[in-house]
Amino acid sequence: MRLCACLLILIACSGVRAADDPLSRAQALLATLGPDTATGVYAQTARDFGAVVDEVRQSGASDGTLVAMRKVAADMRKRAQERLRAAESAAGDDEGALESLYRSEVWEQLSFAMSAFPFWGSWLDLTLADRPAQAGNRVQLLWRAKRGFRAASMQIYQPSLVYGGWLGLGFVARAEGQDSRARQIFDGLKQALAFDPNHPVRKVIDAERARMDGRAPALVAATPATPATPAARWAGERADIFALLEGQRATKAGAREAGAKLREIIDAGGMDMSLLVGVLKYQAEIVSEDLHEYTDLVGAEFAFTNEQWFSAVQKYKSFFAHAARGQDMNFDRFRYRHALAAFKADLAIESAQLAERLLTRRGLDAELRKAATKLAYVARAQRLDSKSTADARTALNVAAQRFLAASPSDPDADGARVVLAQASGDTGQALKLLSGVKSTARFAGGVETTRFYVIARQFAKVANTTDGAVESLARQGLNAWDELPAEQKKSPENYAFYLQLKAVGDADPAAVLKEIDRAGQKPDVSATSQRAFFWAKLRCWDRLHEPGRVRDEIAALGAAPVPSWMAEALYPWVMRQPDPAFQADVAALLAPKLKALPDMERRFRLLQIEMLLTLGRGEDAYAAARALLADYPKAGDGYRMLGRAAAATKRYVEADDAWAVITDKVPPSFDVWWEGMLSRIELRASSTRPEAACELTGKVARQAQAPTAELARRWDELRRRLTCAPAS
C-alpha cells in the first residue's frame, strides 16, 4: 500500500517531488531545519518527509538508501528536540511563559514533528526487516519499528498518528508471525474507526485481513470516498465559523451565526480538538454564545485569561461534571488549568487534589505531567503551617518527593528538599537533601535552621549512647550553630541544646561548665532548658573524670524531692558508670528523694541491690531487697532480687520461694520464667536433697528452646549435672 493513500489523515501528500532522487530530497528537507527555523516549517517538513518515505518504500530503493533515509529521520527528530529546548530556554524559569508555550501553536507543531519523524522511521525499519539481505538485523529492526509505532500510538493529541501507530503495530505483529495478535490490533483499530466507514486506514485493514484469510485483497482507493476526519467533513462550516469570528472581532458582528454553526457541528458529533483550540482563540468573541456542553469550558477559559480565578474554577467544575461530545477529545490541559485556577483562587487543597487526580490519568503528556507534579507540591506547601494535620504533612511529603524526582533542577525543588529534610527520619538523607539546596538565601535562614534541628533530633536519639557517633554529631551541630540565624540563636531552648553540644564536642569541658552555670542563673529558665543544662553537666563531669560532683547537685536540692526531669537524666547516666560502688552509693542517695516518683524510685533501688550483689555485699543486698518488697509487695523484680540476694546469703529455701512467686505467675514464654526455673533447679541441685530438682526439670523440658543463648547454656549444664532424667 502507499502510505500517502492509507494515511491521508496524517500527511497532505505535498508536491515536494523534484527531479532529484528521494534521498537527496530528504537531505534537502533536513538542511532546512535549524535552531531558528519557524516551527511551522518543522511540522510541514514532517508531512513532506512522509511523502518521500512513502515514495522510497514503494520504489524498491536499495538497502543503503533506506538506511540513509532512516538516519535522516533520526537527525530530523534530534533537530526538532533542539528547537523545542530553544523555545523552553527562551521562556526561562517563568512559569507563566512556559504555560503559554505549552498551550501555543509552537508546541503543537513541534510536538507533531517530534512524533512524526520517528513514526516514518519505523516504516523504514519495517521495510528493511523484509529485505533478505537484512535477515541478521531483522529482530533488531522489528523491535525498533515496534518501539516507534508504539510511541506514535500514544500521541493522543495527534489522532492520525495514533491510528498510524496502531496500524504499524499490526504489520509488525504480522512480520513476527503473530497473526492472532495482528488480528486483535486490526479489529480493535477498525472498531475505533467505526465513526467513519470510509476511513483510509480501515480500507488498508480490510485489504490486509483479506490477505490473512486467503481472500483476494480489495483494491484500496488512492482517495477516500468521503472526507476522513471531522476537520475535512466540516471543512466548509469550520472556515465559515472562523470567518464569522474574525468579523465579530473586527466589527462586533458574526458571533451569533458562528455559535449556531458550532452548535450544529457539536450536535452532529463533529467537535474535535483542532476545532476547539481554534474556537478558544476567539474566546472573547464567542463567550456569550450558547455552545451546549462547551459553553462552560469557553467561559472557564475566558475567566482564566482574564484572571477571574474563582469564576474559572466554578465553570471548569461545571464543564467536567458532564461528558462532552466529540472525536479524539483530550481535556487534560484544561484539567491542569482548572487546578491552576484553583491555586490562583487560594483554593490550595482543591488545587493539589485536582493536580494529583490529573497525574493518575493514563497517557498524560510528559510536560503536562511535569507541570501538574509541581503544582501539586506548590499548592500543598502553601497550606503548610504549625496546625497542619499529620495527613496533610504526609500528603505534602509525597508531593514534594514526586516533584523533586520529576524536576530536580527546578528552582522550587530547593523548597521540596527542605520539606523532605524536615520530615526525613534518616539524618544522613536529610543532611544530603539540605546540601543539595542551590540557593539558601531565598529561605531566609530556613535551610540553616532546618539543618540545626535535624542534627538536634538525631542527637536526642543517640545522646545516651557511648559510641563515637555522639561526638561526631556534636561537632556537626556546633558547625550548624555557627551558621544559624541570629534570631534563632536567641531562643533559650536552642541555646540550651547548643550547650549540650559543647558538653560533648568542646575541647574545654571546665569552661563549658562555667557557661552552663551562667545560663542557669538567668531568670525564668524553662524545665526544658534545666534538663538540657543538667544533662550537659553530667557529660562534662564524665569528661573531667569527676562523676562524684553529682552528689553536690543532689545535696543542693535540700529537702526538696528530685524533679522528674533530673531523675530521667540521672538513671541512664548512673547505669553507664563503670564503678558499681559509686552506682550503689548514688542510688541509695537518690531513692529517699524519689517518693513522689515511685516507678523511678523502684528502678534506683533495684539498681542499688544489683550493684551490692556485684560487690559481694550479700547481706546489704538482702536487707535492701526485703525493704523493697515491704514497700512494694507486688513488684516482680523485687522477688527476683530477693531470690538472688537470699541465694547469695545461703537462705536457699527463701530464695526458692522468692523465685517460685515469679515462675508461678509468669508464663514460660518470658525470659524471667526461665531464669527463675533454672535458678530454683540450681538451688535444689546444690541442696541436701538434690532429687527435689527433678520435679522442676520436667516442666522446663516440656518447653521449647530457651529464649537466649545464656539460658540455653545453663539448662544444658544442669541436664548434664543432674542424675534424674527430665520427662519427655
**224 and 312 inside one domain:** no
**Locus of grid cell 497532505:** 12
CB 302 within 8 A of CB 283: yes
For 627, the grid coordinates are: 525493704
pLDDT at 436: 52
Nearest to 87 by CA among 103, 98, 95: 98
Domain count for the chain: 2
288: cell is 456569550
Is 272 found in the same domain as 203?
Answer: no
- Give the whole-angstrom CA distance, residue 32 versus residue 45: 9
Amino acid at 102: Y
pLDDT at site 156: 58
Residue 29 contacts residue 51 (beta carbons within 8 Å): no
Name residue 272's beta-bridge partners: 327
The residue out of 279, 311, 329 marking a domain boundary is 329
- 138-153 vs 159-175: helix crossing angle, rounded to 10: 150
Output phi, psi for 242, to 5 deg.
Answer: -70, -30
What does the alpha-carbon distance between residue 460 and residue 99 come to, in Å, rounded to a whole number? 46
Strand partners, 327: 272
Q: Which three cell numbers stand for residue 93?
A: 524559569
Backbone angles phi, psi at 717, to 5 degrees: -65, -40
> Where is the domain boundary, 228, 258, 282?
228
Nearest CA to 696 out of 716, 676, 720, 711 is that of 676
If you compute the radius of gyration of the chain from its CA atoms, what whole number of angstroms results? 41
Q: Is residue 566 part of a domain?
A: no
For residue 145, which of 160, 130, 164, 126 has the smallest C-alpha distance? 126
What grid cell was written down for 158?
A: 495527534
Q: Are residues 64 and 209 in the same domain?
A: yes
Residue type, 654: E
Query: Are residues 64 and 106 located together in one domain of the fold?
Result: yes
Burial of 611 (0-12, 13-18, 19+ CB in 10 A): buried
38 & 153 share domain: yes
Residue at 339 is within a domain: no
CA distance 12 to 48: 8
Determine how many CB atoms are found less than 10 A away from the CB of residue 16.
Answer: 19
Asked if residue 144 and residue 32 are part of one domain, the reply reads yes
- Say which residues have a Cβ less than 8 Å from residue 614's Cβ, sequence separation at least 6: 580
Low-confidence ranges of the chain (pLDDT < 70): 1-20, 91-104, 107, 155-157, 195-196, 215-233, 383-388, 397, 404, 407, 409-450, 452-454, 456-468, 480, 482-485, 725-728
pLDDT confidence of residue 424? 52
Q: Are residues 22 and 105 in the same domain?
A: yes
Same domain, 43 and 160: yes
Examine the fold and report which residue of 201, 228, 255 is the final residue of a domain before the chain moves on: 228
Give the whole-angstrom CA distance, residue 614 versus residue 588: 15
CA dihedral 499, 505, 506, 509 (to 10 degrees): 80
Q: pLDDT at position 306, please?
A: 92
Place of cell 553507664: 576
DSSP secondary structure of 293-336: GGHHHHHHHHHHHTT-HHHHHHHHHHHHTS----BS---HHHHH
Structural domain includes residue 493: no
Residue 594: CA count within 13 A, CB half-sphere: 23
640 belongs to a structural domain: no
The grid cell for 368 is 503536562
Helices 332-344 and 348-359 meet at what angle, rounded to 10? 160
Q: What is the DSSP letter of 327?
A: B
Could you tell me which of 172, 183, 242 has the C-alpha nearest to residue 208? 183
Q: Which pLDDT does position 616 carry in this prediction?
A: 92
Give the total residue count for the chain. Answer: 728
What is the rounded CA–CA span in Å between residue 546 and residue 550?
9
In a domain, 618, yes or no: no
Query: Would you list the DSSP string of 476-526?
Result: HHHHHHHHS-HHHHT-HHHHHHHHHHHHHH-S-HHHHHHHHHHHHTSTT--
**54 in the same domain as 125:** yes
* 667 domain residue, yes or no: no
**Residue 313 within a domain:** yes
Q: What are the grid coordinates assigned to 179, written together?
A: 497473526
Pair (199, 101) in one structural domain: yes
Number of other CB atoms surrounding residue 647 within 10 Å: 23
| 25 alpha carbon, distance to own chain's centre | 49
Q: 272: domain range?
A: 229-329
Longest dimension (CA), the chain: 122
Predicted pLDDT at 157: 60
Residue with cell 534521498: 23
CA angle, residues 195, 199, 201, in degrees to nearest 5: 120
Q: Cα–Cα distance between 292 and 322 in angstroms, integer?
A: 11
Distance of alpha carbon 69 from alpha carbon 92, whole angstroms: 35
Whether 495 maps to a domain, the answer reads no
40 lies in the same domain as 130: yes
Residues 129 and 64 in one domain: yes
Helix (H, G, I), strand (E, B) or coil at 548: helix
